[in-house]
Structure 1
């Protein structure tokens, strides 16, 4: 019934208070009828602020990189990094699905992929620059910490090396994080929504920042070097880069050849736990992520040249970040 018609039927001989109360009740009933007949459009809460915050962090790190490079007189060479290509690709796809043919979910996925790769490049360059600080190496303390809890790194290394199939499996798992991360960023929105991806990105970014900060003031070379087994390892390029940066022989950073220089805490172990956590409660995805990343964490000492205490520290940082973000209720994820 129209509101005007209802108002005309009110008893205007009632006291003012009663008439006012009646009018309020009728208005509420009428508005309820209107809402039932013409339901409001669903409200989509925008999370663009979170995405912008990630881009701001990336831009700030890139600015620090640029200033630091200039002050050191360093240059960057070999820009043909596949990551640079994919950053451009995912950024273009994001712009297309955000503005040309709007699709919120696809745009969010493309933006998340571009953010992960962009962040990895600028923070990777930053980690190279931190090596030039030349803080004292802590390898012997890490080795002593392993020994203090009864872990024999050399025995573990030779046991893994003595089982070729296991060694190969662990080597494959060690190289899997970026692929698994890509799969989760694409698949999680389908199963549990884009909020889980945003949480994954934030945990990844904050963890990486903390790990890099710790490693910059507490650098370690490698358990391979400390225990004298680099000749038994196939890929030791990062050791050459680490030594050249500390000695001052490297003044041009090859973007296409950048690799992980962080030993303590282990970022590989940290990423493994992050990817397991991100897939929690998702049928099929969680068992797969748990198996692959569990093997990857297991591979970190022998395949990555990390001390066992590196692994423990990397896992501890992730737990600290997850608890901190959940206490802050940001970002929220089911």
Structure 2
């Protein structure tokens, strides 16, 4: 379990966390540590089980828990990084994103208007938008219980790489979103996004709390990247691959029908997923060549099975 793959992930997670808190300090912001109690408690509760399972050679559960914990901690740090980085105040990319949409014939207000005329379809796609969360949990379980541990490790690395690429792009190309740029009425969650986004850019958001986090990334669409990576992770399982393609295609479509994203965001999300997969493939031989040790050995002893 303790191998190059896990070391790389922990390094990427650590760099993300350090960058987040350095930017918090730079912008005079604070983090509400008590709001992270659930995440901290989850790690504290499950990490010992991962160590014990790995020491007892119960690799499926050890890999599942380790992958899950990596994603929990990374998600927390990444969300904080988006908040801490927004006050960098890079120029808004909305005019450029609108121009890109116009060049390919995409007009978000028209899409939103059509959805308003078909509430059943709109609601179905809204449900699809949020289905990426349970789909991710299903991927962790299915891949984690597979005898080929490389599949779960690959998925978690894809997720981390995709998150880092979208966040780096966001820091240089922030956008207020099509509902602000085009002026159509935002939904309540979109209104909260606008309040947080512009307060951060104005330096009027002093405290970052896990309980009040909103997704701030417009371009590229991380939801699109995420959905593609989830669907791709099921490619080895015929019984679920086709349904996952359909479901996550609906997720990608819903990023526009809900009014959240420009068409350019979706194209950026597709490109990000592709780059994440290609980087992972390039790294795979090196990651798999390293020595693998038990997690328990890091604590000075092996866990011996009875």
Name stretches of at least 5 consecutive residues in structure 1 with no aligned partner. 1-45
Q: Does 1:228 align with 2:183?
A: yes
Q: Does 1:245 align with 2:200?
A: yes
In structure 2, the partner of 1:117 is 72
Q: After the TM superposition, which residues 72-83 of structure 1 pair with which residues of structure 2 at under 5 Å, given as runs? A: 72-77=27-32, 79-80=35-36, 82-83=38-39
Q: CA deviation at 1:115?
A: 0.3
In structure 2, the partner of 1:150 is 105
Q: 1:82, 1:256 within 8 Å by CA — same for their partners in 2?
A: no
Q: Does 1:197 align with 2:139?
A: no
Residues 2-58 of structure 1, C-alpha deviations (whole Å, 9 max, x = no match): xxxxxxxxxxxxxxxxxxxxxxxxxxxxxxxxxxxxxxxxxxxx6622112211221
Q: CA deviation at 1:325?
A: 2.7
Q: CA deviation at 1:227?
A: 1.2
Q: 2:256, 2:263 within 8 Å by CA — same for their partners in 1?
A: yes
SS at 1:235 equivalent: helix
Change (3 A) 1:210 1:272: same
Residues 35-88 of structure 1, C-alpha deviations (whole Å, 9 max, x = no match): xxxxxxxxxxx6622112211221222222222222322111261565444334
Ranked by relative contact order (alpha carbons within 8 Å, sequence separation 6 or more), the top structure is: 2
Give TM-score scaled by structure 1 length: 0.80
Q: CA deviation at 1:184?
A: 0.6
Q: 1:112, 1:185 within 8 Å by CA — same for their partners in 2?
A: yes
Q: After the TM superposition, which residues 50-69 of structure 1 pair with which residues of structure 2 at under 5 Å, given as runs? A: 50-69=5-24
Change (3 A) 1:152 1:66: closer
2:46 to 78, 87, 90: 90
Q: After the TM superposition, which residues 287-326 of structure 1 pair with which residues of structure 2 at under 5 Å, given as runs? A: 287-303=242-258, 305-326=260-281
Q: 1:105, 1:194 within 8 Å by CA — same for their partners in 2?
A: yes
SS at 2:188 equivalent: coil
Structure with bigger gyration radius: 1
CA–CA distance in structure 2, aligned partners of residues 286 and 81 of structure 1: 36
Give TM-score scaled by structure 2 length: 0.86
Q: 1:81, 1:257 within 8 Å by CA — same for their partners in 2?
A: no
Computed over aligned residues only, the root mean square deviation of the Cα atoms, in angstroms, reads 2.0
SS at 2:238 equivalent: coil
Moved more, 319-328 or 124-133: 319-328
CA–CA distance in structure 1, aligned partners of residues 29 and 231 of structure 2: 38
Change (3 A) 1:67 1:328: closer
Q: CA deviation at 1:311?
A: 0.2
Change (3 A) 1:138 1:225: same
Change (3 A) 1:98 1:326: closer
Residues 159-208 of structure 1, C-alpha deviations (whole Å, 9 max, x = no match): 11221111111111111222211111111243462211111111111121
